[in-house]
Amino acid sequence: MLAKPKVFVTRVIPEAGLERIRQACEVRVWEDELPPPRDVLRREVAGVEGVLSLLSDQIDAEIMDVAPNLKVISNMAVGFDNIDTQAATQRGIPVGHTPGALTETTADFAFALLMAAARRISEAERYVRAGQWKTWGPMLLMGQDIYGATLGIIGLGRIGQAVARRARGFDMRVIYNGGSDKAARELGAEARSFEEVLAESDFLSLHTPLKPETRHLIDAEALRKMKPTSVLINTARGPVVDQRALYEALASGTIAYAALDVTDPEPIPLDDPLLTLDNCLIAPHIASSSVRTRTQIALMAAENLLAGLEGRRLPHCANPLVYNE
């Protein structure tokens, strides 16, 4: 009887995914809440054939080199900027990811952040809990209207398109920069330059991948081009926004509000000045955190892992050049 392949799973994932892997593999799971430290990661991958990683795990050339038997890296995420895909390709290691699975739930959350920021819901909840609610007031916690407002989307990909579909239910005008023009026509979204999207948007939602050219895409100059009443929503990647510039813009009234599901770094340090602002809502990177979606992502990651271990093409491969196509 052939021995089962050894794999390392860098954190506890939904049971459906783990069970699928356990059926075919000898599995070690890092069960701490925090990611495995670098030395632990090096030790655990040394003798395995497969790794199931998360965005919080840096899988670079050094890690790959201590794992001579490594056949596949499966990232339980849509993004894969935590993995050196070039190094993996050079070593013949396919890298899996989980595109599409979290589109709708992330769009739900992006719109939830938009609505919460527009109507200052987190502020209102704190106001009540602090015992400050004395009576109905005509000036109390006035926010921004969503219905009929202009939504700007940077990155009209799968998630950006899903957010645009939700905006149609609020009769919002949707403008965008970057993404599918065909999808935009179907959605009734209007193409604009980056600068025009900044200037015209009442709400600006970021859905661009993190690349060298998108790091600090939203910087001090970009923020100055936005309306003083505008709201920034980021469910993409933290480094897309220059957080120091964002703090200055929020503190000075350059823009009205920000709602972030991602920060740079993660978790955001407790002494970060953004946490002192009432007009900044920050969630702990949970846009895809629904039971159904996280279970589906875990299963996709498991299938990518098993395909790589069996020498099959990964259903969702981030570095298809590994197959010499």
For residues 320 and 325, give the distance between their C-alpha atoms in angstroms, rounded to a whole number: 7
- The torsion region of residue 311 among left (phi > 0), alpha (psi -120 to 50) and beta comes to left
H-state helical runs in the chain: 15-24, 38-45, 61-65, 85-90, 103-118, 121-129, 158-168, 181-187, 194-200, 220-224, 243-252, 291-309
For residues 56 and 58, give the distance between their C-alpha atoms in angstroms, rounded to a whole number: 7
Catalytic residue (choose from 195, 266, 292, 313)? 266
Q: Do 268 and 275 touch, CB atoms closer than 8 A?
A: yes
Catalytic residue (choose from 285, 294, 303, 316)? 285
Let me know if 266 is a catalytic residue.
Answer: yes
H-state helical runs in 253-311: 291-309
33-36 long-range contacts (CB < 8 A, ≥24 apart) are 35/10, 35/11, 36/10
Catalytic residue (choose from 11, 166, 237, 294)? 237
Let me know if 237 is a catalytic residue.
Answer: yes
Let me know if 97 is a catalytic residue.
Answer: no
Which of 306, 287, 282 minimizes the C-alpha distance to 79? 287
- CA pseudo-torsion sign 279, 281, 106, 317: positive
Catalytic residue numbers, as ranges: 237, 266, 285
